[in-house]
Amino acid sequence: MNPLPPLNSPDVSTAAAASGALPSRIVIASRESRLAMWQAEHVRERLGSLYPATEFVILGMSTRGDQILDRPLSAIGGKGLFIKELEVAMQEGRADLAVHSMKDVPMEMPPGFTLGAIPARENPADAFVSSRYSSLDELPDGARVGTSSLRRAAQLRARYPRLEIHALRGNLDTRLRKLDEGQYEAIILAAAGLIRLGLSARIRALLPSQVSLPAPGQGALGIEIPENRPELAQMVAALDDPSTAHCVRAERAFSRALGGSCQVPLGAHANFDEEGRLLLRGFVASVDGSRCVEDELRALPEQDEILGRTLAQILRDRGAGKILEELIAAAPSDPPGD
């Protein structure tokens, strides 16, 4: 995302309104899951408070990623399936912008679209959720743990080989229901989603990054807009949080340089150290978790994307390149069908 001029001063909406540049109605596209709708409503409320003369409405949509629940995301085309229909709605003029979880946004934005803002991040950690146990260490041998990502599965297999890791698809409520029905002894979810929906009490433990390094962009929202809508860029830029944006750009640059997708067990998380520098941690692992290459690197915040690419190259040189070659060779040769 190219940095935009700082527009989050109290005078922005007033000046734009005076110039007549503000649209009278904005349609926000969103997936229809409860969490996605919460995120869209959150953005709608924030924009509505900044631009009271504009009507903001939400268009809920079902995506292919929501509809196909019997196969892992890595087998059906990846997380881009969660946003394709929303982009089509923008292309056809049925929606003006879309709100996404940043970890669901492909590393390469499709032509004609850009990220207009990345608001302040919620807790990026993975959460341990269980009805009977308080931590991964308490789980008995052979306990079934459900997770939706190769990233989490690889890290769990590496650190807890005595556990059985099973695929878990569906929206957040569906995953919790499957846990409560006894299909799993525990499941691993993004803490941010639980917190946003008022379900913090379901979190038994937050997993430290040494156990489960988050996905790039985890906990952050992204506002996607068409590139040819400068008036939208001006409006949504008021929600951009520079610190979060620096972190997410570094994480995404790291993932992009390594071909990050649902087929690659990869994690990245950036934050600021005591001296105000950007600290980026990243890893690449084999699917079974038997091999893992990880490291960390620091840079100035304005070097966020360079930081991500540099750390990616360091990991490639240390063996991640070989792991990636094997993952590509093992991947299905035919793309998922429509």
| Residues that are catalytic | 104
Name the one residue in this structure whose structure tokens are 């995404």.
252
In sequence order, the 6+-apart residues with CB closer than 8 A to the CB of 43 are 28, 99, 119, 221, 223, 239
67-78 b/e with 16+ CB inside 10 Å = b?
ebeeebbbebbb
8: its two tokens = 């989050």
Q: How far apart are CA 148 and CA 150, in angstroms?
A: 7
Report how far residue 62's alpha carbon sits from residue 85's, in angstroms, rounded to the nearest whole number: 8
Backbone angles phi, psi at 178, to 5 degrees: -65, -35
Cβ count within 10 A of residue 57: 12
User: Among positive and negative, which fits the CA dihedral 207, 320, 107, 170?
Assistant: negative
Work out the burial of residue 198: count CB atoms within 10 Å of its CB; fewer than 13 is exposed, 13-18 middle, 19 or more buried. exposed
